[in-house]
Amino acid sequence: MKKITKKIASFSLALSTLLWFSGCDSSDTTTPAVTPVATTTLTGVVADGYLVGAKVCLDKNYNDMCDADEPFVLTDSTGRYTFTLPDMAATQLPIIVEADENTIDLDTNTTIGTKWHFKANSSNSSFISPLSTLVAQEMALNPTLTLEQAMANLQTELGLDINTTIDYVAANNTKAHNAAKIIAHSLANTETSLSAIATTTDARTIRLLAAQQVRSQTVAIEANAINGNTSYLCDVNTTDVTAQVTELTTAISASLSQQLQADLLFMWEEERLARDVYNAMYAKWGSKVFTNIATNGEQTHINSVKSMIDKYAVSITGYTEPAVAGVFINQDLQSLYNTLIAKGSVSVTEAYKVGVLIEETDIADLDQRLLPTDLPADIRAVYENLRKGSYSHLAAFNKQL
């Protein structure tokens, strides 16, 4: 093992100290049982007024939508929701609310008759509303902002004397409640209008643009909230929506440094490399530890890194999707892949040693990528989750030796 580790480490050093990771959660049937992780319960409430029958989901791929493979619940008769989760990492995910025409608003005890989309920046939030949506979307456009800063900005703009994470219904804060009603209807109206024009634009971008437009009208929102005019709708700017979308995506991309963008692209390919090596080792030796990690873990984390690439509008010009197995844009990764395949093809024991090396260097790689102080919270959460998986994989491969 020392001989192989030394050779591959030297090879990596020659490739500009290349480090790579896999970072996923999976296990082989031949590994010992893992002590179950205690579950975590997340509870909260959704409001314009409290909403009954609204869908609440954990946004695993950060696309601002409730996808079929994402955990979800419906709010109960009081507007509350409860998640029981097996993994604390899930509490770092954004939480999305999708209310439809049949959702009941307890302000009126009638269905809302339209579609509302709300968001909270983290599942740790216990109150999701139109106000939390504007806070979360500002943080998406300005990833260096802390939650506290983003909340303070909105409070100042709307002249509110209440923290935007506090339940304004329970607190009887009429101004905040009125502002939320206006924002809820305005977001829905703006999203509908923009979607009808930008039919090929993804939902996340449309929702960001809608939030941006509504946010630009906080003076009018505050004035109408004070006067109790909750039927007020913000203006919708439908002039050259294509240009608006381009300006928005350019701003999102510019919010991430070139180094952080390069890191995401490298790590996206790096995840593929790990998956492709493990698939090749399974095809060669038939050990389930390789296919379990590759299939149940690596692909999920490839998708996680790609979600950050999409969110921050990082250019993937030159990359092919779906990518060809074992083929990489980064030539250092290409050379490393070829070397590791050769090493792992000597014997199943050597293949396990390659797995150990992969996980050890993954952990070191992620430690380095978690150092930047300007690393956005969502990218940090993804990296931390991958590092956690690397430790799990390391134990699985060591068990085979």
* Tens digit of each residue's pLDDT (9 = 90 or more) over 130-141: 999 999 999 888
Of the candidates 106, 95, 100, the residue with the CA atom closest to the CA atom of residue 48: 106
List C-alpha distances in Å: 3 to 6, 8, 10, 19, 169.
Answer: 5, 9, 11, 18, 66
Nearest 5°: the CA angle 350, 369, 331 is 55
| Beta pairing, strands 40-46 & 127-128 | parallel
**Mean pLDDT across 68-79:** 94
For residues 66 and 60, what is the distance between their CA atoms, to the nearest angstrom?
9
**Mean pLDDT across 38-52:** 89
The beta strands (E) that lie in 237-358 are given as none
* Tens digit of each residue's pLDDT (9 = 90 or more) over 140-151: 888 888 888 999
Inform me whether the pLDDT recorded for 59 exceeds 70.
yes
Percent of the chain at pLDDT above 70? 89
Is there a contact between 278 and 291 (Cβ–Cβ < 8 Å)?
A: yes
- What residue ranges do the domains of the chain occupy? 2-36+257-400, 40-254
Q: Could you tell me what percentage of the chain is helix, strand and coil, using 3-state DSSP and rounding each to the nearest 5?
A: 55, 10, 35
106: left (phi over 0), alpha (psi -120 to 50) or beta: alpha
Give, for 361, the enclosing helix (H) or strand (E). helix 348-369
For residues 355 and 357, what is the distance between their CA atoms, to the nearest angstrom?
5
Contacts of 338 (CB under 8 A, 6+ apart): none
Q: 331 burial class (0-12, 13-18, 19+ CB within 10 angstroms)?
A: exposed
What fold, for 2-36+257-400? Ferritin (1.20.1260)
Is there a contact between 98 and 207 (Cβ–Cβ < 8 Å)?
A: no
**Mean pLDDT across 267-285:** 94
For residues 297 and 8, what is the distance between their CA atoms, to the nearest angstrom?
24
* Tens digit of each residue's pLDDT (9 = 90 or more) over 183-207: 999 999 999 999 999 999 999 999 9
For residues 300 and 235, what is the distance between their CA atoms, to the nearest angstrom?
40
Instruction: At 328, give phi and psi (nearest 5°).
Output: -135, 145
Is there a contact between 354 and 9 (Cβ–Cβ < 8 Å)?
A: no
